[in-house]
Amino acid sequence: MSKNANPTREEAAEADLGTTNLSPAVKWFLLLAFLCTICAVPLGQYLWEISTNAKAGEKISLLPKSFAVFSYADQERDREELRLKTSGIGYGLDLTRLYNVKTIENAKKFESSIEEESWLLKALGPAVENLLIGTLGSGSRDVYCGRDGWLFFRPTIEYLTGPGFLDPGVMKRRALSGTTPKEAVQPDPVSAIVDFRDQLAQRGIELVVLPSPAKATIYPERFSARYAQISTPLQNPSYPEFVRRLEARGIRVFDPAPLLLQAKGKKELFLKTDTHWSPAGAELVARNLADYLEKNRLLPGKTPCSYPQLAAHAENAGDLAAMLKGSKEYGYGKERVELRQIRQPDGTPWSASPDAEILFLGDSYANIFSLDGMGWGTGSGLVEQLGFHLRRPVDSILINDKGSFTTRQQLGNELKRGQDRLAGKKVVVYEFAARELALGNWKLIDLSLGKRAERPQTAAAAQAVEAAKAAPDGVQVEGVIEEITRPPRPGSTAYKDAVIAIHLKQVTSGGKPFAGSQIVVFCWGMRDDVATAATRYRRGERVALKLRPWSQVERKYGSYQRIELQNDDAVFLDIFWLAQPEDGGAAAAPASRQDAKGAVAVSDGIQAASNPALAKPQPAAGVTRPAAGAPQPAGLDAKLLFQKRLLEIGGSKEEARFHTGVDGWLFSRQELDHISKGEFWGEAAQTTSLAGKPDSRDPLAAIIDFKQQLERAGIELIVVPVPAKAHVYPDKFVAGIAAEQAGSGTRFDPVHQQFLAALEKAGVDYLDLTRLFLDARKGNAPPVFLQKDTHWSPYGITLVARALKQKIAPRPWFQALTGQKFTRKNESIQVKGDLLDEASAAAGLETVTVSRIVQMLDGRESSPAPDRNSPVVLLGDSHTLIFHSGGDMHAKDGGLPENLAFELGMNVDLVGVRGSGATPARVELARRRDNMAGKKLAIWCFTVREYTESVSGWRKVPVIR
């Protein structure tokens, strides 16, 4: 087609838009300009750091400061521990996980380091903030500017405008947001609060939940002109459902939002430049909460106390104004508030009463006007006002920030130490910021009352601890940092102060062991939005610190935002405080620092004592390593193929529920994840388990505890772990493994064999189904597992019932029973495996033969039924329900309960649950409250994947009371 010699203006414009002609010089100029632009910032940062270090007389580094976070030096101790525990592929897998976690942590530190040290941010930050705040009136990253001088916290706006926090998709994304097991997020507030209530109910204590509303919930018109008038408080879309679910479970919810909305026209109920309510708002909530407790008769009658009030006032800039650097320039000045300060009956300052019948757990909404460090006065907070209106003493645990778990965690820690904070309590009020429902980590906290762990101490060490308690200015100690927590980034939260925790080992004082050589130290990690010198400490460093007992300063500092250690063992250690001038004693001594290798780092001009070099690691007792060139065991090639396939699946980014094996066999991804983790009990459970609570991660401890409970009641236990399908059918899991290898004595579950040996050592009777099923494969028998389902087949059930009969038959109590007669009726059915989706269900139907168990009663055919009065109880997961319950369990009358009835000649009792058989089955058994009266034997059946993949974990459940 020839070009138009006289194009129109439109045609010419279209032609020009479709092509761009650049000369080589322009191309090179643009390329170089682009490269210079993107390189200028890091190059400028590097030159600025060199100049700054030179002026300060510091050593000039060839690497930018931000790259220092990519250090793996502090992982050497972990590497040595792994080398002692594992070898070969197991060591490689564990080492990969270790470095993966460290790399994720380093990436976060790298990002924070760039933000904190950037010269460009320091140079342009004030100008950009002036534009955003002063000119545009929009706010900063964490603070939104509202109308008429009001400020709003960004997370509270996100809570109100974001998706429903109970939406399954939202909860799934939040659950996956933790980068390490220690940072795992439990997103469901309902399950956490129900668990909390259930534990309190066991001690006869009522729970009242108090979600403190966001400022924009009550004053949306101060944020946007669109909300001139509202008749109901603004909330997250899931909030009504949250309240409904709690009330449906019998949990009391005191929602102050409607009260505040109704009363807001009379007084300002929230502070203009702060996230919290005003004194009038706190007093209104306290008065109505007191009325609620009295009307519902939650507290017993008591002679009323008279608490005098004193008029006071406070003047302060709100926490949101403090987050806006230079807020005074933008008109956000100080606010003055009038306070009603509550005093004790004798006129002394108000204080919490440990022997009170009501315990108040709260965050900064309860601390404001109470905690001096918040700058809004003391003695006038929510708890003080509640005590005034109730006319009775109140106990309290108040900690700023993270109300979703911190106060419950503090309560749990005190109980574990043997300090019964719940003794004599009738009511617990649980207050938290409503935004925590969508943003918080709702950990499940164990409230079991424990005994303080006694550690061997020399007389000198014990005397040193007592001397520290008596010394007015603290005691000097030295030790090596085992673990240290980190404060939030300055300016990223509404709280300008934060306490961090240090786990100190090899602790000495005056050259003598101190406090069992291990202690926990609390210290300031952030003060007035500035990171302290303590944040420069690193794991493995030897430090010298001046400390005083935490008990002496807890009343003063215990309510500040605190980042606790995630090490459950540290709960039982003595706690100290890094002495400060404002404590009334001496400041902390300059700390000398030394890494674990003995390389000394000098801080503040003081050098540490020399640290002995670490001894070369030796193999653990009882551990032998194969000599080089030793003959390898049979089946090694098959095992390598098996492990290689597990690694491939583990490294895949696919999130499928199953993995497709050979000949159409399907294998649960969750089950494969479990068998790839290695050792899963004892200390290893803390890193392999998905359970949120550290004390619920060890299956061995839970099984032994259950066995001991039953033993004391004269009841026997048989544990029946259902093996992984891949361990029984490795040839169907990996191409290249022959069926003969699976049945030739070669086992692919060495870790599970070790666990069974640990059970046997503890005196726990068990049934090794892997051996049973592998032996069954030697003949021409049907499969023991369904091909496209997570469960065993009818034939597998028959084998298990027969094996249990052989174990039970020799027992005298069983031989004394009169047996009943049952018969089998075989029937072919088609089943759809639970690993299939709806789209592939029709093509994946599997034909199996079910043995239905029947009994003739009065000349009529009858199906066996679980018998509560049976001496044998079967408890467990869906393996006890498959082919028993019908519906998605495929059939009725052909499951393990019926087959046991056939083999034993009697019906058995059944406690079967869908989902995890680890803890829920025992919880259901405990709820019967009959102490298993009349029972002789408990058969506990569960899939092995629950050892690590159960989110609820392996709790010690008091089945026998």
pLDDT in tens, 538-563: 777 888 888 988 888 888 888 788 88
| pLDDT confidence of residue 78 | 65
Cβ neighbours of residue 436 under 8 Å, at least 6 residues apart?
A: 189, 363, 402, 403, 404
Q: State yes or no: pLDDT of 452 exceeds 80.
A: no
Q: Which residue has the higher pLDDT, 603 or 234?
A: 234
Mean pLDDT of 254-269: 94
Q: Counting runs of H as helices and runs of E as strands, what totals does the chain give?
A: 34, 29
Segments in 835-895 forming alpha helices (H): 838-841
Residue 470: which H helix or E strand, with range? helix 459-470
> In this structure, are residues 146 and 223 in contact, taking their beta carbons and an 8 Å threshold?
yes
Residue 885 DSSP class = B
Q: Tokens for 245? A: 């679910």
Would you state the pLDDT for residue 4? 60
Mean pLDDT of 60-71: 57
d(CA 513, CA 459): 10
Give the amino acid at 615: A
First to last CA, the chain: 95
Question: For residue 621, how many other CB atoms are within 10 A of its CB?
Answer: 5
List Cα–Cα distances, 749 to 314, 530, 698, 726, 735, in angstroms.
67, 52, 19, 9, 18
Instruction: Mean pLDDT check: name the lowest of 54-68, 96-110, 386-400, 607-621.
Output: 607-621
Residue 622 has what pLDDT? 30
> What does the pLDDT average to over 255-282?
94
User: Contact 918/875 with Cβ under 8 angstroms?
Assistant: no
d(CA 446, CA 65): 42
Decide if 692 contacts 186 (C-beta within 8 A): yes
pLDDT score of 349: 85
Q: What is the pLDDT of residues 664-708, one digit of tens each?
A: 999 999 999 999 888 999 988 988 898 888 889 999 999 999 999
924, pLDDT greater than 50: yes
Q: Burial, 48: exposed, middle or buried (Cβ in 10 Å; 0-12, 13-18, 19+)?
A: middle
* Domain limits, the chain: 40-117, 151-299+306-439, 459-601, 643-949
- Alpha-carbon distance 178 to 181, whole Å? 7
- Tell me the CATH number for domain 459-601: 2.40.50
Angle at 549 between CA 539 and CA 413, to 5 degrees: 70
Rounding to the nearest 10 degrees, give the CA dihedral for residues 59, 63, 68, 69.
Answer: 160
H or E element, residue 286: helix 279-295
Residue 241: pLDDT band (50, 70, 90) is very high
- Cβ-based neighbour number of residue 745 at 10 Å: 11
Judged by average pLDDT, the poorest of 560-574, 671-685, 881-895 is 560-574
Task: Please return the burial class of 791, using the count of CB atoms within 10 Å of its CB with bins 0-12, 13-18 and 19+.
Answer: buried
User: 841 versus 21: which is more confidently predicted?
Assistant: 21
The whole-angstrom separation of Cα 519 and Cα 565 is: 12
Answer whether residue 181 shows pLDDT above 60: no
Q: How far apart are CA 141 and CA 325, in angstroms?
A: 12
Residues 281-310, mean pLDDT to the nearest whole number: 93
Nearest to 554 by CA among 583, 530, 528: 583
As a whole number of angstroms, the distance between CA 566 and CA 182 comes to 7
Residue 148 contacts residue 222 (beta carbons within 8 Å): yes
Which residues have a Cβ under 8 Å from the Cβ of 397 and sit 6 or more positions away?
359, 360, 361, 362, 407, 410, 411, 421
Rounded distance between C-alpha atoms, residue 852 and residue 889, angstroms? 14
CB atoms within 10 A of CB 870: 22
Per-residue pLDDT at 80 exceeds 80: no
Beta bridge partners of 861: 856
Among 210-214, 494-498, 821-825, name the one with the lowest average pLDDT. Answer: 494-498
| 626 HSE (CA, 13 A, CB side) | 9
Provide the CB-side half-sphere exposure for 338 (13 A, CA): 5
User: Chain-centre distance of CA 663, in angstroms?
Assistant: 40
- Our CA angle for 863, 866, 869, nearest 5°, is 130
User: CA 368, CA 286: separation in Å to the nearest integer?
Assistant: 13
Check pLDDT > 50 for residue 870: yes
Sign of CA dihedral 382, 500, 68, 687: negative
Average pLDDT of the residues of the chain: 82
Torsion of CA 503, 508, 509, 514, to 10 degrees: 70
Choice between 215 and 306, residue whose per-residue pLDDT is larger: 215
Distance CA 195, CA 198 (A): 5
Q: How far is CA 95 from the centre of its chain?
A: 23
What percent helix, strand, coil does the chain show, rounded to 5? Answer: 40, 15, 40
Give the DSSP per-residue string, 406-417: HHHHHHHHHHHT
CA 182 to chain centroid? 6
**φ and ψ at 652, to 5 degrees?**
-75, 145
Residue 923 clears pLDDT 70, i.e. is over it: yes
CA torsion sign, 631 to 637 to 643 to 644?
Answer: positive
3-state secondary structure of 599: coil
* Residue 248 vs residues 251, 423, 557, 920: alpha-carbon distances, Å: 7, 28, 38, 20
Say which range, 35-44, 75-84, 471-480, 715-724, has the weakest mean pLDDT.
Answer: 75-84
For residues 212-227, average pLDDT: 92
Q: How far apart are CA 749 and CA 259, in angstroms?
A: 61
Nearest to 438 by CA among 306, 241, 256: 241
> What pLDDT sits at residue 582?
66
Identity at 547, one-letter amino acid code: L
For 318, phi then psi, to 5°, come to: -65, 160
For the residues 569-580, what does the mean pLDDT come to? 83
Q: Residue 852: which pLDDT band, with cuts at 50, 70 and 90?
A: very high
| 377 vs 704: CA distance, rounded Å | 52
Distance CA 804, CA 234 (A): 59
Give residue 515's pLDDT: 77
pLDDT at residue 618 in the model? 33
- pLDDT above 70: percentage of residues in the chain: 78
Mean pLDDT for 500-524 is 86
Token readout for 956 is 């010690």
- Please give the pLDDT value at position 560: 85
CA 561/CA 363 separation, integer angstroms: 9
Query: Are 487 and 549 in contact, with CB atoms under 8 Å apart?
Result: no
Q: What's the confidence (pLDDT) of residue 57?
A: 58
What whole-number distance in Å separates Cα of residue 836 and Cα of residue 664?
11
The mean pLDDT value for 862-886 works out to 92
What's the one-letter identity of residue 707?
A: K
CA dihedral angle for residue 323, residue 326, residue 328, residue 332, rounded to 10 degrees: -30
On the question of pLDDT at 874 being above 90, the answer is yes
Task: Name the band, by pLDDT with cuts 50, 70 and 90, for residue 155.
Answer: very high
Give the C-alpha distances (Å, rounded to integers) separating 496 from 454, 485, 489.
Answer: 37, 17, 10
Confidence band for 782, pLDDT divided at 50, 70 and 90: very high
Least Cα distance to 746 among 726, 765, 769, 774 occurs for 774
Strand partners, 938: 717, 873
